């Protein structure tokens, strides 16, 4: 187990670009032209900004109006795409995907986007989320002659769309979306249009941006900023948007349900400069830190945050208490997924390479250290050792999320319940296990109050990993399995 294994992982990030085209006469044929940057290059920059959402594979599909080309592979976006690859992906419409693979599902066959062709045209799809009725849908498709090249639920979605394509794109989309159950933010493309869809509960994020010569969809607003676009709004839960040369067509599918967006986007997953459902991520983390201070303040000399997602909450804790904020911990940003750690002991000690303490900030001091969560407890224990080795007199751990006690079934890769330390230990036992002088988690009510203070109009969150109560009934046979 290494530092990254002791964190929760969001499994995907998606992006889509539509650039307006114009028809110009070229001899006796018509030729579609567009101005500005290639759509695939713009999607590449978007994926770069969404790399935190998945580091196992990356892919881009692009349409030139006549056909869809696809390039994908294992690794970071910068490893998968070279300049010559992007130069081959010419077109005005593109979608892209970055993926974090769960154990047992790593491999190029599960990389996205996924592309299916038919007599009526091709459909490519990128998906963030997880279906809970994947096995039933796959079995139904197999019984009617479909074959599968992957173990991903995304292939089920794209084949359902292709199967109904003869009814027209809009009907194929609504029929498919009404069949799938779980969490999903989708970027779909045909030769001539870009489509976005978000599940009725809005569990996973998706937003719309305006470009100088077109439109954009992305998991987070930071991706829109990365291509100099303008963030317009979030895609609403249960909304489909179809983008073509005429603009953006929006409609809702099915019955409106209660919003239950993933609360961990604010705690950990999203980049601090993103805005999700009209709440700034960094502001949410700062408010959570302030609530932590009110609920579980302790006399101390310095407050530090575990990079990167613990820093906002540490700033909020510092402001609320008046205790000085310091860097405290330095993160080595150059350890990639391919860092070699051959033995189990070396894997466990990898946190010592990943993180180190600033002795000048903590030596001889009472330290409050803020982290976003405790999953297995391995990283927290190593952090306490690092701080004590640097001379910290006291180490008080504060966590800006409630105890994670239950697995997620909606697109987060969580360990089994037995591996979640908060599922098998109370707070006192965890404190002893990690070797801290004190430990406290934010309360569920406090966390919700922090978000409400950011935007009173936004409410409704999925809190299943804390409470075991999920927005959608979870079939018992899932047993924590993931199909991403």
**Considering only CA atoms, which of 451, 471, 475, 454 is closest in space to residue 462?**
471
Residue with tokens 């224990």: 381
Tell whether 207 is in a known binding site.
Answer: no
Q: Is the peptide bond before 113 cis (omega within 30 degrees of 0)?
A: yes
Can you tell me the distance from the alpha carbon of 257 to that of 265, in angstroms, rounded to the nearest whole number? 20
Report yes or no: 200 and 257 within 8 Å, Cβ to Cβ: yes
How far is Cα 183 from Cα 205, in angstroms, rounded to an integer? 10
Whether 262 has a binding-site annotation, put simply, is yes
Q: Which among 12, 187, 207, 431 is annotated as catalytic?
A: 12
The residues, any chain, with a CB within 8 Å of residue 476's CB and separated by 6 or more, are: none
Check whether 372 is labelled as a binding-site residue: yes
Q: Is residue 12 among the annotated active site residues?
A: yes
Q: Cα separation of 449 and 304, whole Å?
A: 23
Tokens found for residue 1: 């187990």
Q: CA dihedral in degrees (83, 88, 90, 94; nearest 10)?
A: -70
Say if residue 465 carries a ligand binding annotation.
yes
Does 462 appear as a known binding residue?
Answer: yes
Residue 248, strand partner residues: 243
Binding residues: 262, 309, 371-372, 408, 462, 465
Binding residues for [4Fe-4S] cluster: 262, 408, 462, 465
List active site positions: 12
Binding residues for Mg(2+): 309, 371-372
């Amino acid at each position: 187990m290494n530092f990254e294994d002791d964190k929760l992982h969001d499994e995907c990030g998606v992006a889509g670009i539509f650039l307006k085209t114009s028809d110009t006469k070229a001899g006796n044929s018509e030729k579609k032209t567009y101005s500005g940057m290639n759509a695939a290059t713009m999607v590449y920059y978007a994926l770069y900004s969404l790399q935190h959402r998945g580091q196992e594979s990356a892919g881009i599909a692009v349409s030139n109006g006549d056909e869809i080309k696809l390039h994908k592979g294992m690794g970071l976006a910068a490893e998968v795409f070279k300049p010559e690859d992007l130069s081959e992906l010419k077109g005005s419409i593109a979608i892209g995907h970055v993926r974090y693979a769960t154990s047992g599902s790593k491999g190029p066959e599960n990389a996205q986007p996924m592309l299916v062709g038919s007599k009526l045209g091709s459909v490519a799809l990128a998906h963030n989320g997880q279906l809970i009725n994947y096995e039933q849908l796959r079995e139904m498709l197999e019984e009617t002659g479909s074959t599968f090249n992957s173990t991903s639920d995304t292939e089920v979605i794209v084949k359902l769309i292709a199967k109904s394509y003869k009814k027209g794109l809009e009907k194929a989309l609504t029929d498919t979306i009404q069949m799938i159950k779980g969490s999903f933010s989708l970027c779909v493309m045909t030769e001539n249009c870009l489509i976005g869809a978000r599940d009725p509960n809005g569990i996973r994020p998706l937003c719309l941006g305006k470009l100088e010569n077109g439109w954009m969809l992305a998991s987070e607003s930071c991706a829109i900023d990365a291509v100099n676009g303008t963030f317009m709004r979030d895609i609403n839960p249960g909304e489909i948007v179809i983008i073509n040369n005429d603009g953006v067509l929006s409609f809702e599918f099915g019955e409106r349900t209660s919003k239950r967006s993933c609360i961990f986007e604010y705690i950990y997953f999203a980049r601090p400069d993103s805005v999700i459902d009209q709440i700034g991520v960094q502001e949410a983390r700062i408010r959570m830190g302030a609530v932590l201070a009110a609920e579980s303040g302790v006399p101390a000399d310095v407050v530090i945050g575990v990079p990167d997602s613990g820093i906002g909450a540490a700033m909020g804790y510092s402001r609320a208490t008046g205790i000085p904020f310091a860097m405290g911990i330095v993160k080595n940003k150059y350890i990639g997924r391919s860092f070699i750690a051959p033995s189990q002991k070396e894997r466990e000690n990898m946190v010592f390479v990943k993180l180190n303490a600033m002795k000048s900030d903590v030596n001889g001091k009472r330290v409050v250290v803020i982290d976003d969560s405790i999953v297995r407890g391995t990283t927290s224990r190593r952090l306490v050792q690092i701080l004590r080795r640097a001379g910290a007199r006291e180490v008080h751990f504060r966590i800006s999320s409630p105890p994670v006690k239950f697995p997620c079934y909606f697109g987060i890769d969580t360990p089994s319940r037995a591996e979640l330390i908060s599922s098998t230990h109370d707070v006192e036992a965890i404190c002893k296990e990690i070797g801290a002088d004190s430990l406290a988690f934010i309360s569920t009510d406090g966390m919700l109050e922090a978000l409400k203070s950011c935007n009173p109009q936004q409410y409704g969150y999925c809190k299943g990993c804390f409470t075991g109560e999920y927005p959608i009934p979870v079939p018992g046979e899932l047993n924590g399995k993931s199909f991403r």
